[in-house]
Structure 1
């Protein structure tokens, strides 16, 4: 059995929430988790759309993490 230790260079994660506070909390939690992997935020993109099924806004974000 062979063990290979390779470093993660890039990581892209997707988030969604019903409100901006929850979305921000999810992103901040993941930023802290990714610090252990020595990854920093490279870019962040977000958008909001109206969900006609729930009659509420739906917030989403894409965060690209890159090695320090």
Structure 2
């Protein structure tokens, strides 16, 4: 993994492909796929955070009693 390599985040990628592409109809499936990927990544991060929070609550609740 190269940490000095520049990357484009998904939000900017959606904007760039959707609004800066000369052929909007050809870019539309890529925009939809990128938006779906962004929603899935956010949902997975949220579900992971909820699971970690619940696990820590149970752990500290057991230590409290």
TM-score (norm 2): 0.32
**More helix as a share of residues:** 2
**More strand as a share of residues:** 1
Q: Which has the higher contact order (CA 8 A, sep 6+)?
A: 1
